[in-house]
Amino acid sequence: MELQKIRELLEKYDAGETSLAEENALREYFQKNEVPADLKSYGLLFSFSEKNKTQKMQREVELPSQAKGNKYLWTAIAASIIVIVGLFFFQNKPMEMNHSDLGTVQDKEEALQKSMEALKMVSELMNEGKEDLIYLKEFNNTKDKFIKTE
Amino acid sequence: MRQQAFLEKINPVKDKMYRLALRLLISKEAAEDATQEVIYKLWARKDKLKDYTNVEAFAMTTTKNYCLDELKAKKNNNLRIVHQNYENNSISLQTELEVKDEMLWINQILNELPEQQKIVFQLRDIEQLEFEEIIEITKMKSTAIRVALSRARKKIRESLTNKHNYGITKD
């Protein structure tokens, strides 16, 4: 492109009338050709805009994460697993009792004595309870007055 | 819309949004915050996003409005967004430094332009969008866009020329 035409385009450019295609042609011309001193400012302007176009944002864009819901979900799952496993262990514990837990006595003599004691205690308590049954006789006596069983 | 689909839609636009935010807010930190915030907003309205045929334009409009609101809020509170974009000035060739210097200089000039001109210049000269797209994003009239663009371009070139002729004084 001849310089005369470039000057015309530059005038249009100054007026804000150039199309994108024309502006690109100008940029290309200034990149490839030496221009007269009075046009240097255009060249600087063009390389400025070229340079600035490559600027990029350094920071990563973050969105309010959907993972937030997931995070709680996983915590919930972990918590329920712990609870279930815990319950399982606690319920199984009584099943694994030892003989010693039952209070079994190994010595025969002692065992006899202990069982006697236990049986005695039971019978004593039984007799104690039976004493209260005397009142029931009174009930029978009264009943006999009305109902003859002979 | 799932997150994955949303991100696929927004990712190609993300850097454009960031650059626009950076142009307006100047501070990298503030621009990143703004972009993040706008993407949150879009995500919250993701169901409506389907209705927009041009997601990019909608995202850019939202970014623009958000940044302008941000600037207004800061102005009302008498605060300024302070930027800390320190470049690491590693030793480089003299010419490279000069170019860098010019680029910083243009940035400086751009920072002093009115917001509308910044936006239009950013969208047209840097993002190279069609006028129709810029109209959709800025909701400005075509003529107003061209005027703003023309002013911005002339202003930048003027400052550059003045800087280069400084001390040479040709009357």
In order of A67, A142, B161, the CA distances from A10 in angstroms are 54, 135, 15
- Within 13 Å and on the Cβ side, how many CA atoms surround A17? 7
What was the pLDDT predicted at A94? Answer: 58
What was the pLDDT predicted at B102? Answer: 81
**Confidence band for B50, pLDDT divided at 50, 70 and 90:** confident
Stretch B9-22: mean pLDDT, rounded? Answer: 90
- Give chain A's domain count: 1
A13, A42, A59 member nearest B32 (Cβ): A59
- Give chain B's domain count: 2
Stretch A134-148: mean pLDDT, rounded? Answer: 82
CB contact under 8 A, B156 and A59: no
CB contact under 8 A, B6 and A16: no
pLDDT tens digit sequence for B105-156: 888 889 899 999 999 999 999 999 999 999 999 999 999 999 999 999 999 9
Q: Which residue of B has its CA nearest to A22?
A: B128
Structural domain of B56? 1-86
Average pLDDT, chain A: 83
pLDDT at A78 over 70: yes
CATH no. for residue B166?
Answer: 1.10.10.10
Residues of A in contact with B125 (CB under 8 A): 23, 45, 49
Model confidence, pTM? 0.66
Q: What percent of chain B has pLDDT above 90?
A: 44
What was the pLDDT predicted at B136? Answer: 92
Domain boundary among B86, B107, B139: B86
Same domain, yes or no, for B93 and B54? Answer: no
Residues of A in contact with B153 (CB under 8 A): 13-14, 16, 45
Interface test with A, best of B149, B165, B166, B170 (most A CBs within 10 A): B149
CA distance A73 to chain B (A): 19
**Confidence band for A24, pLDDT divided at 50, 70 and 90:** very high
Average pLDDT, chain B: 83
Q: Does B8 touch chain A (CB under 8 A)?
A: no
B10, B150, B160 member nearest A15 (Cβ): B150
What was the pLDDT predicted at A97? Answer: 60
CB contact under 8 A, A48 and B106: yes
More confident residue, A148 or B133: B133
pLDDT at B9 over 60: yes
| Structure-block tokens of residue B93 | 């060739």
Least confident range of A109-123, A127-141, B144-158: A127-141
Angle at B51 between CA B48 and CA B54, to 5 degrees: 110
Judge whether B74 and B80 are in contact, CB under 8 Å.
Answer: yes
**Confidence band for B91, pLDDT divided at 50, 70 and 90:** very low
CB contact under 8 A, A56 and B102: no
Least confident range of A8-12, A30-34, A63-67, A85-89: A63-67
Residues of A in contact with B3 (CB under 8 A): 63, 66
What was the pLDDT predicted at A123? Answer: 92
Give the containing element (helix H, strand E) for B118: helix B115-121
Structural domain of A14? 3-53
CATH no. for residue B22?
Answer: 1.10.1740
Q: Does B102 touch chain A (CB under 8 A)?
A: yes
Same domain, yes or no, for B107 and B56? Answer: no
In order of A68, A92, B50, the CA distances from B8 in angstroms are 21, 54, 14
Best-predicted range by mean pLDDT among A56-70, B114-128, B155-169? Answer: B114-128
Q: What percent of chain A has pLDDT above 70?
A: 85
Same domain, yes or no, for B64 and B51? Answer: yes
pLDDT at A64 over 80: no
pLDDT tens digit sequence for B31-45: 999 999 999 988 888
More confident residue, A20 or B75: A20
Same domain, yes or no, for B73 and B104? Answer: no
In a domain, residue A41? The reply is yes
What was the pLDDT predicted at B82? Answer: 66
Residues of B in contact with A36 (CB under 8 A): none
d(CA B151, CA B155): 6
